[in-house]
Amino acid sequence: MKELRLIGEPVIRKDALEKVTGGAIYGADFKLPGLLWARFYRSPYPHAKIVKIDTTRAKSVPGVRGIVTGADVPYLHGSAVIRDQPFLAMDRVRYVGEPIVGVIAEDVEAAEEAVDSIHVEFEPLVAVLDVFSALEFDAPLIHEAMMEYPRTAAVTPVEGTNICNHLKLRKGDVEKGFRHSDVIIEDTYCVPMIQHAPIETHAATAKCEPNGSVTVWTSTQSPFYIRAEIARALGIPMNRVRIACMRVGGGFGCKHEMRIEHLAVAMALKANLRPVKVVMTREEEFVSALVRMPVHVKIKTGAKEDGTLVAQKVTIHWDTGAYSGWGPLVARNAGCASPGPYVIPNVEVNSLCVYTNKPLGGAFRGLGVPEVAWAHECNLDSVAHQLGIDPLEIRLRNALEEGSISVMGERVFNGGLKESLRRAAEGINWNVRSEGKARGKGIACMYKMTGTPTSSSAIVRLNEDGSVQVLQSAVEMGQGVETVIAQITAEELGIPLERVTLTHVDTEFTPYERSTTSSRATFHTGNAVMAAAADARKQLLQLVAQTWETEPDELDIINGWVVEKEGQRRCVEIGEFWTAGIYSKSQFPIVGRGAFSTVDIFDPIDPETGQSKRPTAFWMYAAQAAEVEVDTETGRVTVVKFAAAHDVGRAINTMTCEQQIEGALVMGMGTTLFEELLLENGRVTNPNFVDYKIPTSMDVPGEIKTFFVETFHPEGPYGAKGLGEPGLAATAPAIGNAIYNAVGIRIKDLPITPDKVLKALKERG
């Protein structure tokens, strides 16, 4: 096997200099001549009919250039599964913060003054503010026309209800399994609504052209998805819609869906060909962008005396808010992973996605897996304690491994879960008793599929001076994908890394990419780029071979030089092709093309049983272990040590892999210990960073250890697979289990705040 030069190395990020020097252009930074600004009048009610809109005073505000209502832009958009959202509310509002009227003005101040002068008359309706209230037989229907909305076969709404999707997973006979179990543990675990809290709020600028085309400059994770949604909504061809990506200052899923681009377009349609910019305030980001859905998980597990899992029944209720967004796919993805990465012969899962009159739920790092992992890992710990079995041991006895049959009916391959468990446990000295008062250790694991089927494409262009331009559309949002793509390109071509640059993602120039979500970029885009680079390499060697009158197989590329393996031992530096007379043999530039799709490997999931022989291109496995200290006087929990072991397939860039895991751990600690959006009558009461706390450097554990378990996926580039999402999936249960180990209390509702700990300690006596 050829020795790799760049793969598996801690390569410095390609975008580092641009960002640390302030040269990166984010959505809010972008400006155009003649720029107008837009602000929005938003609903003060969670559910109400719009009776009358009076914009008379707003029109007279100096600097106002236009006012737009839902009647001016009567278009629907939505997620890739259900298109149920209007650009602007038309006949009714369904959540506090829903945009109703847009104002276009010369500056932000004029737009805000005009918004303040708008008067809207409402007829309040009964609001459904709880997922279980929404399921009652006489509950108001939030979307009476739900069954009429355009949707894909990936979702199964329930007619006459507020259920927009119902995922079923069935294997074996679950009731028979419970009858044959020696111990049964049943619990309910809850996860609250939280915010993505990206440092950069949503921002977009749109401009319409005389020929009817539209350009949007935006910070998005999914430019081609946004392009498709806008084109469908406006009824124009995709070649009339251009999405140009700015740098993304944090996404975590909230910049995957279309949350601001349609508003910018709606304003631009009425702006007389001038560009219009929309930037969410921090408060708008909290109430009108996206949230991680609150969820209730009821889980019942049966096991034998030796710890062998026999049966499990899981019922999940997801609160997707006023519109479906990515909620139905969260329910689907997480429902499939809700039993955990274990061999369980009898399983029944019902995962329900439900409309309420609350902020919009959607994709959040892990797509529901962190929420269900919180439930299945804490529940499994309870089973272990009931049986007197070590929590690590019960996981090792039941964990999926090569050749196991999963709960979905798939035969497992390329799984490093057991090794991950061992490495994580070793990272906190699992078998050594914690020293000090009220200290304990906990362990948890997870698995997650990547979205399948999807496709990616790439172009690798060799310039006359030997430099290389890569055109691809995976979006850099802090995860380091641009560096990984450059590494793969340079490795495959045999050239120095510094010769590779990437074109900024723009649907008018860069080739198709499904989206930068689902931890798919390294695997999917990496494969496409690898193929494009191989194509360029083949052309390059053929060109030189033609000039030297030899065969391409007799040549190699080493550090930017084409060399002859045997014979005359001729060589030429790639940047010297012109002077060496090599390009004279061809009139065509060297342009490599590559594509990768998982359509052929995908086996559709049975809608009634959830069974599939190959539901995903790859599974991500990870285990995490925590040591905590509980202050029994204040209830404060301090994470002292953390160890995380992740099956990465192959670590392309060890530095960015480590950064991904460490950043995710800290993010996961925030969602575990203090993050929660609070609502009162449907209104968010803590929409700012004063009242909504996120982790800072002061919250980072004193010791974090990361381990890469490399199983070398046979279909991934150099064996790699995804890593972006799993980093925080097992964090909450690892901490929760460590708290139980420390002081014997089981907190089942996140976040684990000091008051909950003190209350549980008091009840325990």
What's the per-residue H, E or C state across 211-271?
A: CCCEEEEECCCCHHHHHHHHHHHHCCCHHHEEEEECECCCCCCCCCCCCCHHHHHHHHCCC
DSSP 3-state of 207: strand
On the question of pLDDT at 312 being above 80, the answer is yes
Phi and psi at 405, nearest 5°, equal -105, 120
3-class DSSP state of 456: strand
C-alpha to C-alpha distance for 296 and 319, rounded to whole angstroms: 9
Sheet with 500-502: strands ordered across = 500-502, 468-471, 455-462, 590-597
CATH architecture of the region 27-125+209-250+255-279: Alpha-Beta Complex (3.90)
Q: According to the model, what pLDDT value does residue 219 have?
A: 97
pLDDT in tens, 648-697: 999 999 999 999 999 999 999 999 999 999 999 999 999 999 999 999 99
Tens digits of residue pLDDT in 370-382: 999 999 999 999 9
Residue 592: closest CA among 513, 647, 537, 640? 537
The correct CATH number of 454-597 out of 3.30.70.3340, 3.90.470.20, 3.30.365.10, 3.30.479.10 is 3.30.365.10
Instruction: For residue 706, list its beta bridge partners.
Output: 644
Distance CA 109, CA 393 (A): 62
Place 1 in a pLDDT band, splitting at 50, 70 and 90.
very low
Supply the pLDDT for residue 586: 60
Residue 465 clears pLDDT 80, i.e. is over it: yes
Instruction: Name the percent of the chain lying above pLDDT 70.
Output: 99
- The pLDDT of residue 585 is above 70: no
What single-letter DSSP state applies at residue 202?
Answer: P
The CA distance from 424 to 625, in Å, is 6
Q: Which residue matches tokens 């994580």? A: 424
Residue range(s) in the chain whose domain bears CATH number 3.30.365.10? 291-452+603-764, 454-597
Burial 490-505 (b: 16+ CB within 10 A, else e): bbbbbbebebbebebb
pLDDT tens profile 252-276:
999 999 999 999 999 999 999 999 9
DSSP H or E segment with residue 124: strand 119-124
Q: Three-state DSSP class for 103?
A: strand
Q: What is the pLDDT of residue 587?
A: 59
Q: What are phi and psi of 200, to 5 degrees?
A: -95, 120
- C-alpha R_g of the chain: 27
The first and second tokens of residue 294, run together, are 């609150």
3-state secondary structure 11-36: CCCCCHHHHHCCCCCEHHHCCCCCCE
Q: Per the structure block, which two tokens stand in for 763?
A: 């009840």
pLDDT digits (tens, 9 = 90+) for 159-203: 999 999 999 999 999 999 999 999 999 999 999 999 999 999 999
Predicted pLDDT of residue 501: 97
- The token pair at 333 is 């993805």
In the predicted model, what is the mean pLDDT of residues 627-647? 97
CA separation, residue 460 to residues 296, 322, 486 (Å): 47, 43, 11
Q: Indicate whether 364 pLDDT > 60.
A: yes
Q: What is the pLDDT of residue 621?
A: 98
User: Measuring CA to CA, which residue among 384, 299, 393, 365 is closest to residue 338?
Assistant: 299
Asked if residue 366 lies in contact with residue 725, where contact means CB atoms within 8 angstroms, the answer is: yes
Which residues are CB-neighbours of 338 under 8 A, at least 6 positions away? 169, 297, 299, 314, 316, 349, 351, 372, 375, 376
Tokens of 543: 């060109």
Q: Does 306 have pLDDT greater than 50?
A: yes
The pLDDT assigned to 29 comes to: 96
- For residue 394, CA distances in Å to 338, 390, 505, 693 come to 18, 6, 46, 35
Delimiting residues of CATH 3.90.1170.50 domain(s) in the chain: 27-125+209-250+255-279
Given CATH 3.30.365.10, say whether it is the number of domain 291-452+603-764. yes
State the sign of the Cα–Cα–Cα–Cα dihedral 599, 450, 86, 130.
Answer: positive
Q: Which two tokens stand for residue 493?
A: 């071509």
Over 60: is that where the pLDDT of 590 sits?
yes
Contact (Cβ atoms closer than 8 angstroms) between residue 31 and residue 208: no
What is the overall mean pLDDT for the chain?
A: 96
SS3 491: helix
> What percent of the chain clears pLDDT 90, i.e. is strictly above it?
93
Q: What is the mean pLDDT of residues 474-481?
A: 95
CA distances to 141, 162, 163, 333, 335 from 132, in Å: 13, 10, 11, 21, 18
Q: Tell me the pTM.
A: 0.96
How far apart are the two ends of the chain, measured CA to CA in Å?
Answer: 63
